[in-house]
Structure 1
Amino acid sequence: MSRIAFFNIPAYGHTNPTLEVVRELVKRGHEVHYYSFREFRDRIENTGAACICCDEYMPPAPADIDKKVGRDLASLISMTVHVTLAMEERILKEFGEWKPDCIVSDSICIWGKLYAKRLGIPYVCSTTTFAFNRYTAKLMKQKPGEIFRMMAGMSEINARMEELRQHGYQADKFYELLQNDNDTDTIVYTSPEFQPMADTFSSRYRFTGPSLAVPVSAAAERRRPLVYVSLGTVLNKKDSFYRNCMEALKGENIDVIMAVGSRTDIPSLGDIPSNFTISPRVDQLQVLQEASVFITHCGMNSVSESLYFGVPLVLFPQQPEEGAVARRVRELGAGIFLKSTRPAALKRTVTYLLENKSCRENAGKIGAGLKRAGGALKAADTIEEIIEKK
């Protein structure tokens, strides 16, 4: 039996892919301590792992967080340095007593990586997006305003990096904390076929595919197509977009399930068409088993889950990372970009995908590759192999 520590940021898109891996490791007899946040405690403890909540170390979210998510590098570096130093005393004490055999940390959760290096503990990077190196980073295609914000924040970034060095951490260049490298053992929750430029990554990258607990579908066979609409769990306060979807698809010979997030006041959206079901959240894996088309923000998990079930996508990315995922889907012929959010454009795009067999076939081919990659079992195997080599 090994002792394995997981670290993650407070985000569903980064936490959910790890849960079935943790469940498999616990099933194999390993002891897992998962450093996360209260919002995720029940999910983590349901795997059999111990959840250590770190909310007290996280600085308050800025009021304009919707504008900064995925776009403000200085805020990200500042937050991660804050958490690293705030948790330092606790982690050094607990790890001195518990002595973990391995640390698995999300690629954005820099503190896990820094603790592993400082303590000389074998480290595995958990990457829930595409793997990014100096080649694939160019796929992000940042807008001029985002580039300006990064340049304007460089003085803050440099100050935070110096703060890390003064506390004894190896922190030379800031992008080395975020960018994958060929010398780090890395689990990527996609397939080598879907990963852009997969041949530029070393054998230390394991493309394991999505780690899913697929529910058994109990729904009766649908008499007409189902269109699923969701903009994820973060940047989903888009009332005008939801109203346009309602206007575009009301009265059509289809059913629509729309997940609008907890911050959306559903009654304020107006009269709900009879062919619509609107909820804050749904069981996405359950819905996607029945769906014919998915209108999505193009988060990596949502896209992977859609393709896993062979569902073509209407691509509506909200930030650079999602744009890279969307362009890969388009490149492989499994979805099309939404060029306008006006009702007429929404209706035209959905109708095209409902009638286009090639997009569904291409989605199915990508999904077959995701299933072949191995999922949670392959990821757990990888972690065990790394521990055995130490």
Structure 2
Amino acid sequence: MGKHIAFLTIPAAGHLNPTLPLVAELVRRGHRVSYATGPTYRSAVEAAGATMVELDWVPRPLKVSPGGQTTADLSAMLTGYVRAARPLMPVLEKWLRDDRPDLFCYDMMTFIGSMLADKLGLPEATTVANFATNEHFDLTPSLIPADFDPGHPAFQEFLAERSAFAREFGVPVDKVAAAGAVAPLNLVFIPREFQIAGETFDERFHFVGPAIGARVPTADWEPPGSPLLFISLGTAVNDRPDFFAACTEAFAGTDWQVAMAIGDQVDVASLGELPPNFDVRPYFPQPTVLAHADAFLTHAGMNSVMESLLNQVPMATYPQTPEQQANARRVTELDLGQQLPDLTPTSLRSTVDAIVADPAIRKSLADMHAHLTTAGGPTQAADAIEAQLAL
């Protein structure tokens, strides 16, 4: 008989999209899946076969200073995260009490998940769309901006917000807005070979790798020819008209056919007259474009990195946050691409040309692709869930 598995994920593409193929596989096996997240992802959740539990949860666009994330940027993000979570707690608690799941599966970065599992005594698992954390490796230090100032007024505001949340819900203050929850079962959507300190993770962690499945619908797209360069800063931190203008200048009139996703915060008119070799839109169907791309100029969000690796597309990285910086460093360490040194047209062109021409990068991409294809994907993840349910 099928079981009830409940998912909770922050409404962010990089965290939610990797879970959808797993949801579809669980439904295919006869399980009932309910999925709590924001309204933006209703169509994708329902396409995967889950019952949508719609939350009043629409994250604010993240702001990152042009020179990189600052103390003020990080503090504003954390404060907003706590404020958004406050009204969700009673709604989620009622849902989980009224329709108690056999397994509660929450995104590792969605801190209220571990709180609810503990309060309600729910069997729990996490989904991990970035680097996993254990007793030997903690990503948190890598997420702190270089200029971090704990005395900054914005950070003090966050600390006050965090303390108020802890008092209101009777939870430990150090658990509020904390990343890196470790559950009895942790499903990690990257291969062990990409994980930092991967050899230190025990049987609680299943490195199932990425998979492509149901996604938020996007406009149809046809490949314009080759060589094809795909440019995107993802869906969360993309308010960088300077970046997109630099890319337009760098690749105008070249042999590259360019598909450039600028998000919904940048006015395309601000980029001036677009060169004929550019197709510029708010968003593209990323897996489809990457299946045809020869190079990917990316922010190095983990979901984008994994989708690039699935298609063996070399990456030129331009990270916007400390988390993306960690991903970009790993891409460089494993010889899967290079990080841009700056935004000059010469650097943009030379970096992209270099990653495409480098045979060592091609070999590393092929080797990592082999690891991805043997990781097991949603089938392995569903097997792990069913094994956990049988305990």
Distance in structure 1 (CA, Å) of the matches to 2:346 and 2:382:
47
Whole-Å Cα distance in 1 between the matches of residues 176 and 187 of structure 2?
19
The residue aligned with 1:302 is: 304
Superposed CA offset, 1:95-126 (max 9, x none)? 33322111111111112221111111111111
Partner of 1:311, secondary structure, is: coil
1:70-118, Cα deviation, whole Å (9 max, x unpaired): 9666556555555555334433433333221111111111122211111
Partner of 1:103: 104
Displacement of 1:228: 0.9
Change in CA separation of 1:176 and 1:319 when aligned onto 2, cut-off 3 Å:
closer
Contact kept, 8 Å, 1:80 with 1:110, in 2: the verdict is no
What's the CA shift string for 1:227-265, capped at 9, x where partnerless? 111110111122121121121112222211111112222
Q: For 1:135, which of 129, 134, 137 is the aligned residue?
A: 137
Residues 119 and 247 of structure 1: is their aligned pair in 2 closer, same or farther, counting only changes over 3 Å? Answer: same
Following superposition, the deviation at residue 333 of structure 1 comes to 0.7
Letter in 2 for 1:309: N
**Counterpart residue number, 2:243:** 241
What one-letter code is carried by the residue in structure 2 that aligns with 1:358? A
Note closer, same or farther for the CA distance 1:168–1:142 as it changes in structure 2 (3 Å cut).
closer
- SS where residue 173 of structure 1 aligns? helix
Describe the SS at the equivalent of 2:255. coil
Distance (whole Å) between structure 2 residues aligned to residue 110 and residue 157 of structure 1: 16
Quote the offset at 1:379 in angstroms.
1.3
User: Which deviates more, 297-306 or 344-353?
Assistant: 344-353
Aligned mates of 2:70, 2:184 — CA distance in 1: 23
Deviation by residue 1:266-315 (Cα, 9 ceiling, x = unmatched): 23211211221111111111111111110000000001110111111101
Going by fraction, where is helix more abundant, 1 or 2? 1
2:317·2:328 contact (CA, 8 Å) conserved in 1?
Answer: yes
> Which deviations, in whole Å up to 9, do the C-alpha atoms of 1:322-380 show, x marking residues without a partner?
11111111111111110010111111111112221221221121122112111111111
Report the CA distance shift for 1:214/1:136 in structure 2 as closer, same or farther (over 3 A): same
**Superposed, which structure 2 residues align to 1:1-390 within 5 Å?**
1-55=2-56, 58=57, 61=60, 65-66=63-64, 78-79=79-80, 81-82=82-83, 85-133=86-134, 135-137=137-139, 140=142, 142-148=144-150, 153=155, 156-157=158-159, 160-161=162-163, 163-164=165-166, 167-169=169-171, 171=172, 173-174=174-175, 177-181=178-182, 184-213=184-213, 224-389=226-391
Amino acid at match of 1:386: Q
1:31/1:49 contact within 8 Å kept: yes
1:33–1:213 Cα change, 3 Å:
closer
Q: Which amino acid counterpart does residue 331 of structure 1 have in structure 2?
A: E
Q: CA deviation at 1:159?
A: 6.4
Between 202-211 and 233-242, the greater mean CA deviation after superposition: 233-242
* 1:226–1:254 CA contact under 8 A, matched in 2: yes
* Partner AA of 2:201 in structure 1: F
Q: Cα distance, 1:136 vs. partner? A: 3.9
In structure 1, what is the Cα distance between the partners aligned to 2:337 and 2:383? 33
Shift of the 336–149 alpha-carbon distance from structure 1 to 2, 3 Å rule, reads farther
Change (3 A) 1:254 1:384: same
Give yes or no for contact 1:5–1:33 (8 Å, CA) kept in 2: yes
The C-alpha deviation readout for 1:132-167, integer Å capped at 9, x for no partner, is: 345342771633323547897368437635743663
Closer/same/farther in 2, CA of residues 136 and 219 from structure 1, 3 Å limit = same
Q: TM-score, normalised by structure 2?
A: 0.88
Q: How many correspondences in the alignment?
A: 382
> Closer, same or farther in 2 for the Cα pair 1:285/1:159, shift >3 Å?
closer
3-state SS of 1:246 partner: helix
Is the Cα contact below 8 Å between 2:238 and 2:263 reproduced in 1? yes
Aligned residue type for 1:312: P
Q: Deviations over 1:173-213 (max 9, x none)?
A: 338942244x6321110001111101222210110000213
Q: Within 2, Cα distance between the matches of 1:313 and 1:69?
A: 22
Q: Percent identical across equivalent pairs?
A: 33
Distance (whole Å) between structure 2 residues aligned to residue 39 and residue 368 of structure 1:
34
Change (3 A) 1:364 1:147: farther
SS at match of 2:148: helix
Q: Is the 8 A contact 1:37 1:54 kept in 2?
A: yes
Q: CA deviation at 1:27?
A: 1.3
Judge which range, 286-295 or 360-369, deviates more: 360-369
